[in-house]
Amino acid sequence: MATELDEGQKAEVARIRARIKTLVEGHFATGKPAYYLSQLGNQLGEEDRKLLEGLTHTKISQFVADAFDYEIGRSGQHENILYLIAPESTAVPSVAAPRYNSRFWAAFKVPLAEGERRFIDIETLDFAADAAQFGSHGDTIREIDAKFLPKGSDVASPDVILSRIAAWLDAQRLNQGPFLVQRNKPHAKQESLLTALINALDKDQLKRVSLPLDVIKILETRRL
């Protein structure tokens, strides 16, 4: 039987509920037809998400379904990507997930080592631990905060990577178009050795592999 919450705990649940309401309404106010729950979880923050789940004993997706009137849709190959549908919206996100350039995808898939940072040149899609390694102008260099990246031996699923990319693009006020594989960009010609290596390894092997960023950079710049 669930433990009765005290007044302080109830206040915390109410506070987080209000934050969720603000995030959802703010997202839909931009005219977007859907709000992925993984993106909501990222924007809510790990501390409040874990606190809410600990107090209510429910996942954030179930809490949102119970506490609000938003319709929840599903997409993805296995229909396991949940999203809120904007009120009175007839637009439904496409089941097909966006296909990002392999180098851009790798920047979000390769785990972040402890104590390191990650920067990406949004023109060349090179990424490194130090912004000074780039020869480009500063206005093309953006940091990918740790909250958008797997850490240590973590292996993020494609769905999680997609949601993190969406949240990062939103935070950076960038359109996803230039980073999609459909675009005829000079950097989207051939598969890199890094991409080939990542695609060749299974989940358990990815957990065991640890490469310094200088090696990763070399593998990424070499083409098959």
Over residues 75-82, mean pLDDT: 72
Q: What gap in Å lies between CA 102 and CA 106, rounded to an integer?
A: 6
Ramachandran quadrant class, 202 (left: phi over 0; alpha: psi -120 to 50; beta: rest)? beta
Q: Give the count of beta carbons closer than 10 Å to the beta carbon of residue 212.
A: 11
- Which residue has better confidence, 57 or 135? 57
CA angle 27, 163, 73 (to 5 degrees): 65
For 174-221, write each residue's pLDDT tens digit.
988 889 985 444 444 456 767 776 776 666 667 777 777 766 766 676
**Per-residue pLDDT reduced to its tens digit, 140-162:** 899 999 999 988 877 777 878 88
